Structure 1
Amino acid sequence: MKTDALERFLPEAPEGWSREIDTDMAQGLAFMGGGVGAGADYEGPDGETVSMSLMADNPMVASMAGMIANAAMMGMTVERVGRQRIALQDDQAMALIGNRVLLQAEGAAPEVLMSLIEQVDFDALTGFG
């Protein structure tokens, strides 16, 4: 049930794009210490693809927190969506939401990733549980 609830926070596909929910992600989390996860793959009209995942209550979330908090010192670019910090490097983006949900997106230019990330309801996701 929590996986389905987390899945609802994945943005819809932009106009002209398609979205496919990754139904195997929750099984993979068992090998990474448990937790809840949801993911989706997006494909644009020109064949460009983006993968986005959300993980909650997983040991990997805690290990990534320090890196995201110090993203600028690690040579990453930091963007904001409202009050939410997004760490960008090459074709990857990461954010820690509410100190327990890790958002990762990868596979496209930062402006494409950000256009998807901007659709996430960070306030609601902070209260996920």
Structure 2
Amino acid sequence: MNRIAATAIAASLAFAAPARADDIADAIAAAKDAYASGDADATKRSLDLASQLLAQKAADGLARLLPEPPAGWTAEPAETEGSGMAGLFGGGLVVKRTYASGDARATIQLLANSPLLTQMIPLFSNPQLLGAMGKVFSLKGRSAVTTSEGEIQIVAGQTLVTIEGSASAEQKRALAEGLDLKALERFGK
């Protein structure tokens, strides 16, 4: 009897909650239908929607690479920006998270897959050029810099990491140590 009741409950739950549709696939299908019917405006709107949804999904994936707060620190939820920062950063994905410990605050920002990085990667691969930006140091085998404004910057693959805020240089460096640079390098590949 219990097995029959459990089966009936499971079946009713399966029918009560319809499967969630894939919004990206739906937008692409709508674009395809609009294109087939000759509606260029609807095709573009649907493709723009699919593009924005893809960017948001990618930004959410990038946000998961932000480190957890170290002992004694708290962190706000990550903020993500799909492609809305295109004007400021030339496209790409931006995620950031603010950390706090007492009066000290620091924000880690990740900028990924931006054309801006194409210009910055050579800078980070040459410590002498990087030295013009500030004090160079090694972070997990990669060249990093503390700028004259007190920001820490490092490039990992196609991702620029910036750590800024009122936290001390040592506190920012401790936050930087929490980054999984190998995962950041693999992001988007």
* Same fold, judged at TM 0.5 (above): yes
Per-residue CA distance 1:13-33 (angstroms, 9 max, x = gap): 122221113425446523232
Task: Find the aligned partners of 1:29 and 1:82 in 2 and give their Cα distance.
Answer: 29
Whether 1:97 aligns to 2:156 is yes
Alignment of 1:39-118 (within 5 A): 39-45=96-102, 47-68=103-124, 69=126, 70-72=129-131, 74=132, 76-90=134-148, 91-98=150-157, 100-107=158-165, 108-118=167-177
> Normalising by the residue count of structure 1, what TM-score does the alignment of the two structures yield?
0.85
Unaligned runs of 5+ in 1: none
More helix per residue: 2
Bigger-Rg structure (1/2): 2
More strand per residue: 1
Structure ranking higher on relative contact order (CA contacts 8 Å, 6+ apart)? 1
Question: SS of the residue aligned with 2:94?
Answer: strand
Q: Cα 1:15–1:28, aligned 2, differ >3 Å: closer, same or farther? A: farther
Structure 2 contact 104–168 (Cα < 8 Å) conserved: no
Question: SS of the residue aligned with 1:21?
Answer: coil
> Normalising by the residue count of structure 2, what TM-score does the alignment of the two structures yield?
0.60
Task: Find the aligned partners of 2:111 and 2:70 in 1 and give their Cα distance.
Answer: 22
Q: How many residues align?
A: 126
% identity of equivalent residues? 27
